[in-house]
């Protein structure tokens, strides 16, 4: 199977590449670090002409607060570039399966828990809105052009990773890095809000399932399906690492504006239709992250 991964050198992409290679897939990476800009329409069209069996679209602009500070850039990358990718596939490779990595932030502040795919979509950041528009355009391209597209609205993913500068995305890995350096984990507010954390290996398995099944024109919530308080997540990391400390601070205005409150994924649909079942609980996932030679 010939597979393309946009954003293939990022955190999720790196794990997905390794898993696909283990499955003997022929993987090509389209990533800015290699000089491939997802906003370069001509390059995207040229890549679509290669007629990949499956395309995993991970490239994107991340961070809710950061998106509100860079609105044009956020929509350029997350929305327009994704639409151009779909247009290119419709014209040059309509048989390709496209799996889009989106976000729970399409929902905005949950009106009920757990959140299912029928929950209202009322994003409160440019990031959430940019992802939601791309998702809606994916459904349109599926209906009008017959494109085989699956969209995942993922919760918070974590796992083995290279040390990197925090950019408003992936708070769990960021906290792990801080704790390993005996640093201070900063929690805004009381940390009582629930979050749904999914280990990267589980997430990758869901991506593999979607690439090998029809599931066209479908949206799936992708998480563990269980809520853990933010403050408890931080405590579990410090306990596992053995060093580090927690400090509670008042919410900065720009972060408070994009805080969505508690979130838990209802993963009934993905279990039923794709046969997906997460295997790694949070404590095990943190241990695996710390033990990994990455």
**How confident is the model over 97-123, as pLDDT tens digits?**
999 999 999 999 999 999 999 999 999
Average pLDDT over residues 45-67: 96
Distance CA 158, CA 118 (A): 26
- Quote the strand ranges of the chain, DSSP E: 2-6, 26-30, 54-57, 97-103, 148-154, 156-158, 184-188, 194-195, 197-199, 218-222, 228-229, 245-249
Residue with tokens 């994916």: 138
Report pTM: 0.96
Query: For position 169, what pLDDT does the model report?
Result: 66
**How confident is the model over 246-294, as pLDDT tens digits?**
999 999 999 999 999 999 999 999 999 999 999 999 999 999 999 997 6
Distance CA 254, CA 282 (A): 29
**How confident is the model over 129-172, as pLDDT tens digits?**
999 999 999 999 999 999 999 999 999 999 999 876 655 568 99
- Position 176 confidence tier, pLDDT thresholds 50, 70, 90: very high
85 C-beta neighbours (distance < 10 Å), count: 26
> What percent of the chain is modeled with pLDDT above 70?
98
Query: For position 277, what pLDDT does the model report?
Result: 96
Q: Map out the domains of the chain with their CATH numbers.
A: 2-291 (3.40.50.720)
Query: For position 170, what pLDDT does the model report?
Result: 87
Query: For position 168, what pLDDT does the model report?
Result: 58
Tell me the sheet residues that pair with 122: 108
**Is 259 in contact with 251 (CB distance < 8 Å)?**
yes
Pair of tokens at residue 27: 């993987």
Among the residue ranges 34-48, 82-96, 155-169, the one predicted with the least confidence is: 155-169
Distance CA 223, CA 42 (A): 35
Distance CA 33, CA 220 (A): 29
How does the average pLDDT of the chain come out, rounded?
96
Distance CA 208, CA 273 (A): 14
Distance CA 140, CA 208 (A): 24
Query: For position 293, what pLDDT does the model report?
Result: 76
Query: For position 212, what pLDDT does the model report?
Result: 86
């Amino acid at each position: 199977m010939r597979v393309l991964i946009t954003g293939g050198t990022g955190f999720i992409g790196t794990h997905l590449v390794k898993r696909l290679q283990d499955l003997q897939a022929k993987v090509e990476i389209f990533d800015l670090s290699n000089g491939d800009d997802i906003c370069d329409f001509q390059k995207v069209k040229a890549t679509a002409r290669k007629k990949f069996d499956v395309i995993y679209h991970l490239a994107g602009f991340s961070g809710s607060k950061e998106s509100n500070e860079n609105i044009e850039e956020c929509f350029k990358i997350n929305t327009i570039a994704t639409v151009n990718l779909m247009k290119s596939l419709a014209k040059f490779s309509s048989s390709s399966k496209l799996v889009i990595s989106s976000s729970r932030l399409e929902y905005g502040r949950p009106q009920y828990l757990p959140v299912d795919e029928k929950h209202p979509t009322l994003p409160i950041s440019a990031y959430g809105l940019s992802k939601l528009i791309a998702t809606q355009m994916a459904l349109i391209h599926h209906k009008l052009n017959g494109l085989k597209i699956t969209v995942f609205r993922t919760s918070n993913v974590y796992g083995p990773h290279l040390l990197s500068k925090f950019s408003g995305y992936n708070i769990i890995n960021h906290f792990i890095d801080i704790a390993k350096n005996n640093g201070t984990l900063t929690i805004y507010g009381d940390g009582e809000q629930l979050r749904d954390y999914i280990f990267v290996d589980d997430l990758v398995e869901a991506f593999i399932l979607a690439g090998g099944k029809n599931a066209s024109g479908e949206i799936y919530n992708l998480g563990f399906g269980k809520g853990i308080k933010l403050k408890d997540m931080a405590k579990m990391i410090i306990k596992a690492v053995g060093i580090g400390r927690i400090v509670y601070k008042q919410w900065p205005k720009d972060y408070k504006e994009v805080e969505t409150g508690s979130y838990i994924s209802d993963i009934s649909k993905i279990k039923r239709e794709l046969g997906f079942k997460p295997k790694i609980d949070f404590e095990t996932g943190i241990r695996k992250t710390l033990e990994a030679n990455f």
